[in-house]
Chains A and B, each alone.
Chain A
Amino acid sequence: MFSERVYGRQVPAASDRAPQRLPRGRHGLPRRFVVHNQRERMLLAVAEAVAEQGYANTTVADIIARARLSRRTFYEHFTDKEECFLAAYDTVVEQMLAGVGHAYESAGRAWTSRVHDGLEAFVNYLVDEPAFARMCIVEVVAAGPEARGRRDAAMRVFVDFLAPGRDEAPRGVEVPELAADIVVGGIYEIIYTRLLRDAADELVEMLPQLVYCALVPFVGHRAAERAVRENEARRATAARAPQADG
């Protein structure tokens, strides 16, 4: 299916790795999080705990209880909750951005198609991985200055996806650099508010609108509308055709 093709990381059967000890199946979470070792068990545990309880209310005790590891093991890997959270954040964001980047690069030469497919992969990831989504989008802004810095770095990757749009502008128009920052920040806000009220599904319905918003400062109203229609048509065709690629 689409999501597996995009993210490309299948988790080995959990039974090979950590029999009975993984918090398997809860929140539909660990499918794509490869848990090889104690450290990764703690990363998964902190992601789940923070998604469920909020960053402020999560303690090291919560993390080790979920990971079923000792406090001593925790402190062999991390100095505190924040460090553990940041490590989990980095792992998840790297995976997510790899998926988004792959979708963007694979969408052909048209920048508008690339934006569509990248955004689609992003939204699908957030819907498929609710706990990771909550951690990366919502809790990260409540987890201190270092976490905010990491979030900003992730947002800059999205800004880079939009930057080529400045070459798509009508002749004589110089799109301000700030346009990409505003679009990325604005889509982040949309996602933030939807996740905050557990309405991630709305994001899927909204995808064409979000694509329009991402394109319009660069290509203008009519071209943005046209690109949205074309991309929806392309997607519908792809959904009807059998998946032939690998």
Chain B
Amino acid sequence: MGPQIEPFRPHAADVSALALPLRSRRDRLIAAIARVVSEEGYRATSVSKIVTAAGMSRNGFYEHFANKEECFLAAYDTAVEQVMARVRAATSGTRSGRAALEAGFAAFLGYAADEPELAWLCVVEVLAAGPRALARRDEAMRRFAAFLEEGRGDGPAGVPPVLTEVIVGGVYEVIYARILNRETESLPELLPDVLYVWLAPFVGAAGATAARSAAAARLEPVGARRGRVIAFRPEPRRTGGT
């Protein structure tokens, strides 16, 4: 689990839940809805299931959210905030737009791999959670597209404007398929191939192939760590910390 959403314990006594500060109780509900929707789907998710999973009372739920939809949207927004924070951290200090693109996209995939339940909520269930959720998704896709465009730079004249939308949508679909197959942890592996497709129209097939090979070389197998197969290593580590 990520740094801001703690794993909740369904068996923990309600007393301890009530003793938590407000912010943590809200996070606990968010983690709970992510777990419930990723197991049962949005439609079958109810406030009672969420509070059971969170080990909290219904009143506790309604202190934070008016209904299931509000809770869902809060979870979505939280995930977007967290992933953007990770992307910003990964891209600060990179020396070129291309390096930022690669590091930022790796951070994005790494976040999804670390947070499979939130990833399911944001990528799969968002389609079933009503018009407000769909609007959130559109907005997130636009931000994501803008980020990717920044890292690509200018290309040849005559590239049709719809290309960005096609590739962003296509990458979304590929991620969606992995998550749906419960292969979320393998998402970081997509980076080299996605870079190729993203860059090829702009830098040519040969340049895109070089970028792909370089990114593939930076993928590091770390089998033991938290069950993740692949992690991304942006640059050589200087300390042995963490």
**A residues whose Cβ falls under 8 Å from a Cβ of B:** 56, 141-142, 148, 152, 169-170, 172-179, 181-190, 206, 208-210, 212-213, 216-217, 220-222, 224-225
**Chain B nearest CB, measured from A224 CB (Å):** 8
User: How far apart are the CA atoms of A221 and B176 in the complex, in Å?
Assistant: 27
Q: B156-184: which have CB < 8 Å to A?
A: 156, 158-163, 165-174, 176-177, 180
**B residues whose Cβ falls under 8 Å from a Cβ of A:** 43, 127-128, 155-156, 158-163, 165-174, 176-177, 180, 190, 192-194, 196-197, 200-202, 204-206, 209, 212
Do B200 and A220 touch (CB < 8 A)?
yes
**Chain B nearest CB, measured from A48 CB (Å):** 22
Do B162 and A152 touch (CB < 8 A)?
no
Do B204 and A179 touch (CB < 8 A)?
no
Residues of B within 8 A of A56 (CB): 43
User: How far apart are the CA atoms of A181 and B202 in the complex, in Å?
Assistant: 20
Identify which of A56, A185, A206 gathers the most chain B CB atoms within 10 Å of its CB.
A185
User: How far apart are the CA atoms of A168 and B161 in the complex, in Å?
Assistant: 24
Across the interface, A178 reaches (CB within 8 A) one of B156, B174, B204, namely B174
User: How far apart are the CA atoms of A236 and B35 in the complex, in Å?
Assistant: 54
Residues of B within 8 A of A183 (CB): 166, 170, 197
**Chain A nearest CB, measured from B192 CB (Å):** 7
Do B194 and A178 touch (CB < 8 A)?
yes
9 closest A-B pairs by CB: A185-B173, A189-B169, A186-B170, A182-B170, A186-B166, A176-B193, A209-B160, A178-B193, A185-B170
Main secondary structure on A side of the interface with B: helix
Across the interface, B200 reaches (CB within 8 A) one of A142, A186, A189, A217, namely A217
User: How far apart are the CA atoms of A152 and B158 in the complex, in Å?
Assistant: 32
User: How far apart are the CA atoms of A86 and B172 in the complex, in Å?
Assistant: 25
User: How far apart are the CA atoms of A179 and B196 in the complex, in Å?
Assistant: 8
Closest to B195 in A: A176
User: Would A189 and B165 be within 8 Å (CB), given that A152-B177, A183-B170 are in contact?
Assistant: yes
**Chain B nearest CB, measured from A141 CB (Å):** 5
Do B166 and A178 touch (CB < 8 A)?
no
Across the interface, A172 reaches (CB within 8 A) one of B161, B171, B206, namely B206
Do B200 and A209 touch (CB < 8 A)?
no
Do A178 and B190 touch (CB < 8 A)?
yes
A-B contact sample (9 more), CB < 8 A, given A210-B162, A221-B155? A56-B43, A172-B206, A173-B209, A176-B193, A179-B196, A181-B173, A187-B170, A208-B160, A216-B200
Do B205 and A169 touch (CB < 8 A)?
yes
Residues of B within 8 A of A209 (CB): 160-163
**Chain A nearest CB, measured from B140 CB (Å):** 13
Residues of B within 8 A of A216 (CB): 163, 200-201
Do A187 and B166 touch (CB < 8 A)?
yes
Closest to A224 in B: B201
Residues of A within 8 A of B176 (CB): 185
- A/B interface sample: 23 pairs, CB < 8 A: A148-B180, A172-B206, A172-B209, A173-B205, A173-B206, A174-B209, A175-B196, A176-B193, A178-B197, A181-B177, A182-B174, A182-B197, A185-B177, A189-B172, A190-B169, A213-B166, A216-B163, A217-B197, A217-B201, A220-B201, A220-B205, A221-B201, A221-B204
Residues of B within 8 A of A179 (CB): 193, 196-197
**Chain A nearest CB, measured from B124 CB (Å):** 9
